[in-house]
């Protein structure tokens, strides 16, 4: 299993600005844990997401010298991708592509068709700079807006996006509406139809719904999972009341039960948990 820790997703909805120095200290602690990737910041409108407006400044305070963990930053357009590509420390760039037309406009101020062309240009830019592009399929298991959704819509969009050389897709249960049967169906079909691609799960869930979702994805063959310590955060663009992230602690316990080797420094993880409580 690969674990992607998402402090950016955890704190982007926090209204009181967290000082950059404190964010840096926390991420530097996370870098000691051994996560595959840390989703640490984003290059988006500071008006839309003021909490992550200091991402460029934050990078300069991170110590990656003794860590094999990759750093991922989210972008919403070419301008953000241009900014992210300037930093050698960033290895992965994420773009949220929704299979809900309503949410794509709401989240990225672009239609799905416009976003497809946007991804094409971003993918070329990212490849030219030696980085990897991760596509987050927002509303990947349904949406609250009445927009059409089924597994075929997800697959068709993955097919279109993969033409641009993208190899990694993370399906997001953005508002926590995913049903276990749909999770199994979507991952089973995607993994069977495109075994050459990597598919991950970015679940938002309540404290009582995480296990069923996680088990369904794992049983279908998914081995890449996003989480955040204590299950904090969610997507503030999706609805007024946040649905939390999948708790990293639950992911670690699940991996242990399945005898998955994560190679995490559990002492460093506990220190990060304690530091997080002082951060928020």
Each residue's pLDDT tens digit in the chain (280 positions)? 999 999 999 998 788 999 999 999 999 999 999 999 999 999 998 888 899 999 999 999 999 999 999 999 999 999 999 999 999 999 999 999 999 999 999 988 899 999 999 999 999 999 999 999 999 999 999 999 999 999 999 999 999 999 999 999 999 998 888 999 999 999 999 999 999 999 999 998 877 789 999 999 999 999 999 999 999 876 544 453 545 789 999 999 999 999 999 999 999 999 999 999 988 7
Q: What predicted TM-score, i.e. pTM, was given to this entire model?
A: 0.95
Kindly state the tokens that stand for 106.
């709401």
CATH of 2-278, one of 3.20.20.70, 3.40.640.10, 1.10.600.10, 3.40.50.720: 3.20.20.70
Nearest Cα to Cα of residue 254 among 215, 209, 217: 215
For 19, residues 6+ apart whose C-beta sits below 8 A from its C-beta are none
Nearest Cα to Cα of residue 62 among 41, 83, 79: 41
The distance from CA 94 to its chain's CA centroid, rounded to whole angstroms, is 7
For 252, residues 6+ apart whose C-beta sits below 8 A from its C-beta are 3, 262, 264, 269
Number of Cβ within a 10 Å radius of residue 116: 17
Task: Tell me if residue 101 falls in helix, strand or coil.
Answer: helix
**What does the alpha-carbon distance between residue 69 and residue 62 come to, in Å, rounded to a whole number?**
12
Q: In terms of DSSP bridges, do strands 37-43 and 198-203 run parallel, antiparallel, or are they unpaired?
A: unpaired
């Amino acid at each position: 299993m690969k674990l992607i820790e998402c402090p950016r997703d955890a704190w982007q909805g926090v209204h009181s600005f967290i000082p950059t120095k404190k964010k840096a200290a926390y991420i530097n602690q996370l870098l000691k844990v051994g996560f595959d990737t840390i989703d640490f910041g984003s290059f988006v409108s500071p008006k839309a997401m003021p909490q992550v407006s200091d991402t460029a400044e934050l990078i300069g305070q991170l110590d990656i010298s003794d860590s094999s963990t990759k750093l991922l930053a989210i972008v919403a357009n070419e301008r953000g991708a241009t900014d992210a590509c300037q930093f050698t420390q960033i290895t992965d760039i994420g773009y949220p592509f929704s299979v809900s037309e309503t949410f794509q406009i709401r989240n990225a101020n672009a239609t799905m068709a416009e976003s497809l062309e946007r991804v094409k240009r971003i993918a070329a830019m990212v490849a030219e700079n030696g980085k990897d592009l991760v596509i987050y399929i927002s509303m990947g298991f349904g949406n609250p807006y009445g927009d059409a959704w089924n597994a075929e819509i997800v697959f068709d969009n993955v097919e279109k996006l993969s033409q641009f050389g993208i190899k990694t897709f993370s399906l997001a249960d953005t508002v926590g509406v995913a049903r276990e049967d749909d999770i199994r169906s979507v991952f089973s079909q995607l993994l069977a139809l495109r075994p050459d691609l990597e598919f991950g799960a970015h679940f938002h869930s309540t404290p009582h719904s995480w296990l069923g979702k996680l088990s369904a994805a794992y049983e279908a063959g998914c081995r890449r999972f996003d989480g955040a310590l204590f299950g904090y955060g969610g997507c503030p663009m999706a609805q007024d009341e946040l649905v939390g992230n999948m708790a990293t602690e639950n992911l670690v316990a699940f991996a242990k039960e399945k005898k998955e080797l994560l190679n995490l420094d559990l002492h460093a993880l506990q220190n990060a948990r304690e530091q997080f409580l002082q951060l928020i």
